Amino acid sequence: MTTQNKKSAVTTHRLYMAPMKGFTDCVFRQSFAAYFHGFDLAIAPFIASVRDCPVRRRHVRDVWPENNTRLRVVPQILSKVASDFAAMANFLYDMGYDTVNWNLGCPSPMVASKKRGSGLLPHTDRIDAFLDHALAVMKGRLSLKVRLGWETSAEIFRLAPVLNRYPLKEVVIHPRTGRQAYEGGVDLDAFQACQPIINHPVVYNGDIRTLEDFQRISRRFANIERWMIGRGFLADPFLPDTIKAGQDRIEGKLQRLQQFHEALFHAYAERLKGPSHLLKKMKGLWRYLSLSFEPFDKTLKKMKKSTRPEHYLDLVNRFFETEATLIRKKEKGH
């Protein structure tokens, strides 16, 4: 492959920020897009449909257009009632969103037990009836986020003919079952088998944590141009940009990461009520971000125990100072 062809292959990939409840809300998306690059759009964490009352702006606060100016967003709806789903989809359309995503992938037992999210996947007749009703009255376009099934990957093969009957914009597939949640490996063989029988653009989602992961999986599925990344970019916020470039050539990472953390901290401080909510949100981020730093155990434990925002910030700033010192020593050859 020539250098020109390599460049073309890289630039055709479209990268999606995965919807991660508790992490990728509008505050995070805005702050992230101010400091990092590579994502073409974000699918927002799901909004549950509303029963027995009109949809109001307060129900969809996370996707208010004025709260989402830096990165294109596709709202996601969790629902098992087509009329409720369509009402919310049309409300969002009137707000300016021409596409919504239906969540058929959430593995939470609390969700799945009510036959929502991935818990609905075995019930192809219900999905068929849902799509038939919703798409008949929806103003915009519809994409789906699915898993291979709830119990087994065989469910996606029963579902594919149903999906093919409808004009879907795209189908995001996470190659695990709902029962697996995020345990065990992704089933790339099942993904490879089901992809050709789905007559819609397919988005791959699952276990892209490094540039090497992406290159390995994208070589196997050379016809896939759309990719969703979740936990991998929370651990390494530079990952989308690295994937787009095809190499890690980013300088000044630590400084930019510190600036992002500070901006995110203050953005949440303005929005959240009370220090406990603020600290819970920020500590949750380090659950993933800490994976990029080794060893990190002692500092992370201190952060987890902090109960005052100013103490937490002091620990974080000291951590970044220590990391900067280590980097300078390595650059000097010590």
Give pLDDT tens digits for 243-253.
999 999 899 99
Which one is predicted more confidently, 296 or 28?
28
User: pLDDT grade, residue 333 (50/70/90)?
Assistant: low
* Ranges of each domain in the chain: 3-245, 253-331
Q: For residue 163, which of 189, 138, 132 has the smallest C-alpha distance?
A: 132
Q: Name 100's bridge partners.
A: 142
Q: What is the pLDDT of residues 102-134, one digit of tens each?
A: 999 999 999 999 999 999 999 999 999 999 999
**Of 209, 217, 203, which is closest to residue 236 (Cα–Cα)?**
209
Question: pLDDT band for position 257 (50/70/90)?
Answer: very high
Q: Is the pLDDT of residue 140 over 70?
A: yes
Average pLDDT along the chain: 93
* Residue predicted with more confidence, 12 or 174: 174
pLDDT at residue 265 tops 50 = yes
Integer Cα distance of 50 and 306 in angstroms:
38
DSSP per-residue string spanning 148-166: EESS-THHHHHHHHHHTTS
Residues of the chain above pLDDT 90, percent: 85
Average pLDDT in the 235-259 region? 95
Read off the pLDDT band of 5 (50, 70, 90). very low
- How far, rounded to the nearest angstrom, does the alpha carbon of residue 316 sit from its chain's CA centroid? 25
- Dihedral angle of Cα 105, 107, 110, 111, to the nearest 10 degrees: 0
Cα 93 from Cα 27, distance rounded (Å): 22
Q: Residue 62: helix, strand or coil by DSSP?
A: helix
Can you spell out the DSSP letters for 100-138?
EEEEE----HHHHTTT-GGGGTT-HHHHHHHHHHHHHH-
150 residue type, one letter: W
Measured at the CA of 243, the angle between CA 63 and CA 208, to 5 degrees, comes to 75
- Alpha helix segments (H runs only) across 138-274: 154-163, 188-194, 211-220, 231-235, 239-245, 253-271
Q: Is the pLDDT of residue 139 over 60?
A: yes
The tokens describing 260, both together, are 């992002």
Q: What is the C-alpha to C-alpha distance for residues 18 and 33, in angstroms, rounded to an integer?
A: 14
In this prediction, residue 325 has a pLDDT band, given cuts at 50, 70 and 90, of confident
Q: Return the closest-CA partner of residue 29 out of 264, 327, 306, 195.
A: 264
**CA–CA separation, 47 vs 58, rounded Å?**
11
Radius of gyration of the chain (CA): 21
Q: Which of 22-31, 46-55, 56-65, 149-158 is the least confident region?
A: 46-55
Residue 42 to residue 24: CA distance in whole angstroms: 9
Give the global pTM.
0.93
Residue 334 has pLDDT above 60, yes or no: no
Percent of residues, the chain, with pLDDT higher than 70 = 95
pLDDT at residue number 8: 38
Distances (CA, A) of 3 to 246, 248, 324: 12, 17, 35
The domain at 3-245 falls in which architecture? Alpha-Beta Barrel (3.20)
> Is residue 327 predicted with pLDDT exceeding 50?
yes
Rounded average pLDDT over 71-80: 98
**Closest-CA residue to 288 (of 242, 237, 217):** 237
Average pLDDT over residues 303-318: 93
155 alpha carbon, distance to own chain's centre: 23
